[in-house]
Structure 1
Amino acid sequence: MNLPAEAVTARQTFQQASGWEQRARLLMQWGERLPPLSEAERCDANLVNGCESQVWLMGRLQDGHWQFAASSEARLIRGLVALLLARVNGLSANELREVDLPGWFGELGLSRQLSPSRSNGLNAVLQRMIALTR
């Protein structure tokens, strides 16, 4: 499966990181790069169910490829969501259904930091993305 350019960049950046502290800093930086959602966009209709932290998600189809925007008030979650967006933005609906979430965060060296609740939350975000494509 082809990786979006931003996902390739993320993978290279995180694989070059030496240890968890550097990855944690990178994670926060990626989260800060997410464009903020407006108050109107941070509504209940865009809230993802199944996340301990509040995550808002929106998606739109552009020339057969999906583009997602998301935000969270939790810094760590915002970073993880930013990395998920790097992995999925620009994919078709079929490619989106094939994304291996644990595999992706494993490639980034972040799988040990994904507690079961964070893993479930990110999976809920991915499932919501897939639902938006239907």
Structure 2
Amino acid sequence: MASAVSENPFGRSITTEDIVDTLGFFDSWEDRYKYIIDLGKELPAMPDELKTEDRLIRGCQSQVWLEPSEQDGYFEFQADSDAFIVKGLLGVILSAYNHKRAGEILDFDIDSYFDELDLMRHLSPTRGNGLRAMVQRIREIAGE
């Protein structure tokens, strides 16, 4: 899986490899869920004034807000949710997409990443649909 940290104006952040490696240390999905929730707690706080209707992602069971910014061709996404596990899943997704150029975002094989994490098998169908809606919105932004 190609997701090395690019030279970008935002600096280093947690990578998909970091997440795959860390989740591999845990024997149970209960411990993996705790780690995923902790990822969400590490996301920078999204200001309340950005939590508006136009930033809501449709298709998520929980409320999820996404705000993109771009600097020197690199994207950074601020995101938040009203559900702890969803905020953690945002951390998993943003490790794949933050601090990347549009082409890197569109080329990244998110399904292989989710397979490597064995993630979709451990999410409810509605939560899996929400995860896909988050990914789709990020890809739409990168494609604009």
- With the length of structure 1 as denominator, give the TM-score of the two structures: 0.90
Q: Which amino acid in structure 1 is aligned with residue 57 of structure 2? A: V
The correspondence for 1:79, drawn from 63, 85, 88, is 88
Mapping of 1:21-40 within 5 angstroms? 21-40=30-49
Q: Equivalent residue for 1:107? A: 116
The equivalent of 2:102 in structure 1 is: 93
Residues paired across the two proteins, number: 134
Q: Which runs of 5+ in 1 are unaligned?
A: none
Q: Contact 1:4 / 1:89 at 8 angstroms: preserved in 2?
A: no
Q: How far is the alpha carbon of 1:15 from its aligned partner?
A: 1.5
| Matched residue SS, 1:40 | helix
Deviates most, 108-117 or 55-64? 108-117
* Corresponding residue of 1:63: 72
Q: Is the CA contact (8 Å cut-off) linking 1:15 and 1:109 kept in structure 2?
A: no
Which residue does 1:19 correspond to in 2? 28
**Which string of whole-angstrom CA distances, capped at 9 and with x for unpartnered residues, describes residues 74-118 of structure 1?**
111111111100111122212212233332122223232122222
Give the % identical residues: 34
1:46 lines up with 2:60 in the alignment? no
Cα RMSD of the aligned pairs, angstroms, is 1.6
TM (norm. structure 2) is: 0.84
Q: Tell me, in whole angstroms, the C-alpha distance in 1 between the residues paired with 2:75 and 2:109.
A: 17
Match of 2:128 among 103, 115, 119: 119
